[in-house]
Amino acid sequence: MSKFLEMVYLTRLEHFNAAHKLYNPDWTKEHNEAVFGLCANENWHGHNFELFVTVKGNPDPDTGFLMDVKALSRIVNEKVIEFLDHKNLNIEVPFLQGKMCTTENLAIAIWEQIVPHLPENVQLHRIKLYETPRIYVEYFGEN
């Protein structure tokens, strides 16, 4: 084996269903509807989200693993999915309170929930979040 290890990217796919509403309380109902369209529906709307969590690092020389995939799944489920699945994102999710519940902001919030729980030798590389089969957001942790 080479003395220089190669960077490896490992992705876990999870799924959750959630409702939200895009609405700026500082705007009129008409302005919200003009900007957000059907997403401003006062009775909410829902999505079947697909969440791709990609971590990166060097495989362990003894196991060949970058990270135990069961541990990654546990982190994503305990720190993210359990808070989001079948929830109203605007009302029920503590880490989204005070934020506009866009897919962009949701991806950033998911990143923030996962990073502190990863092993020391593993970095979060990307959050890819599909809101619909044709619309998704990618976040790489840039500030």
Would you name the residues annotated as active-site residues? 39, 86, 131
- H or E segment to which residue 129 belongs: strand 123-132
Residues listed for the chain: 143
φ/ψ (deg, to 5) at 55: -110, 160
Residue type for position 52 = F
The DSSP secondary-structure symbol of 61 reads: T
Q: Compute the distance between CA of residue 70 and CA of residue 2 in angstroms, rounded to an integer.
A: 27
The DSSP bridge pattern shows strands 123-132 and 135-139 to be: antiparallel
Q: Which residue carries 């309170």 as its tokens?
A: 97
